[in-house]
Amino acid sequence: MRGSSVVTPQTDRACLLRRLAPVALLAALAGACSSAPAPTTFDLSAPTTSRIRGAADVQVLVSEPAALQPLSTQQILVRDASGTISFIGGGQWADNLPNLVQTRLINTFENASQIGRVARPSSGAVADVQLVSELRRFEIATPGNEAVAEIAVKIVSDRDGRIVSGRIFRTSVPAGAVDAASAARALDEALSTVMLDIVRWVSGSALPRRDDPGTAAAGGDRAPA
């Protein structure tokens, strides 16, 4: 008959193979992905030093640093001279980077400062001041292979929301090679230096108290633009 077609066993098999081809491709891709080795996970450390003098009765809240999307991940970032961003394969941070930096900065205050009342805002604690920060750079800069850590920090009065003082902290450390282990080690060293500088700065500032409305703003450093 005109317009009719004859279905043969071969035709059935061809149709079945066409339907199953995408499924087979996905299974093959999944198998290839699962066979790749898991990335090595690297932590950041909280440095310990002799106690830095500061007001022991001041309560400080340390906010999670703000960060642009490339830094709001677990990936280890590389930036070249043109500003192009890439990531180092085979390694990752132990947590989302801003949360990890917040935790290690709190730990550094606990390890190194006489300011013993330090917490994160989610703790529900009532503080005298809050540290509001931005993670500006945390990367391996090429060429030169330098680990760069840069954090802008503001001290904010929790009583009236006034910015008491602000500074930008930056340091760089030679990374040696651009591989996960070398990069993680150098970035950890750079961040440790920056965090200790932040703790020294906060501990040496005249911090307002919530129950002392006459406390004058001090600290000597203008807030960064």
For residue range 5-39, what is the model confidence (pLDDT) as tens digits? 444 555 555 554 455 455 444 444 444 455 678 99
23's enclosing H/E stretch is helix 9-35
In the block, residue with structure tokens 């703000």: 66
101-145: pLDDT as tens digits: 999 999 999 998 877 689 999 887 888 999 999 999 999 999 999
Q: Of 69, 75, 79, 70, whose CA–CA distance to 89 is shortest?
A: 75
Residue matched to tokens 């450093």 = 221
**How far, CA to CA in Å, does 28 sit from each of 21, 22, 31, 32?**
11, 10, 5, 6
> Could you tell me how far CA 111 lies from the centroid of its own chain?
20
- The pTM score is 0.78
